[in-house]
Amino acid sequence: MNVVPQSSGSPTPEAAKPTLSLAAREQRARAPRRHGLWAKSASELHLRHYKSGRLLRRLEVVLAEQGRPLSEEMILTARAMAELAVIGDQVYAALQATFRKSEVPSPKLLDAFRGIRRDQLLHASALGVTPAAKAELAMSMGGLQRMQQERADAARERIRAKATNRKAVAR
């Protein structure tokens, strides 16, 4: 039997490393996923990148269908918003898990969640996908459309006036 001396000088048997059960190994493998904000495992980072890429592509499709495709400058903002959405979902899931256990969530987790959602809202308003930004865009586009309609009406009026002048001169 191996003995390891303690500071008191009396020898004690060396603690054998326990073998982990399959459930314990799986739990340790999933441990970084519990708090997605602080995840550092390669698989979790890859999954986060994949999800944010899918969200970005979907956002590009939806905005293109609305007639507002993303410009080169807006893609970086859209990617940041998608990454924040994925991280925010993971932090929200961690909060929900603490609420299901009837525990008080850590203030650090709550502050992180609030900050992520606030930053995500800033990016979304910069892209024009929040309700307020959509309303503002519709008003500005409505004003633009009204101005274009007025110009078109004025052009039609000028054409009619020229046509009536030609008829009058021809008689």
Please report, for the chain, the start and end positions of each structural domain, with discontinuous segments joined by +: 37-129, 131-171
- Residue 34 confidence (pLDDT): 47
Higher pLDDT, 55 or 16: 55
User: What residue type is assigned to position 105 of the chain?
Assistant: P
Identify the pLDDT of residue 11: 53
pLDDT in tens, 127-161: 888 888 777 776 776 666 666 677 777 777 877 88
The β-bridge relationship of strands 11-13 and 3-5 is: antiparallel
Q: What share of the chain in percent tops pLDDT 70?
A: 74
More confident residue, 52 or 169: 52
Q: How far apart are CA 47 and CA 83, in angstroms?
A: 11
Question: 126-148 burial, b if ≥16 CB within 10 A, otherwise e?
Answer: ebbbeeeeeeeeeeeeeeeeeee
Tell whether pTM > 0.75. Answer: no
The confidence score (pLDDT) of residue 171 equals 66
Question: Do 79 and 120 touch, CB atoms closer than 8 A?
Answer: no
3-class SS at 13?
strand
Residue 111, token pair as written in the block: 């502050």
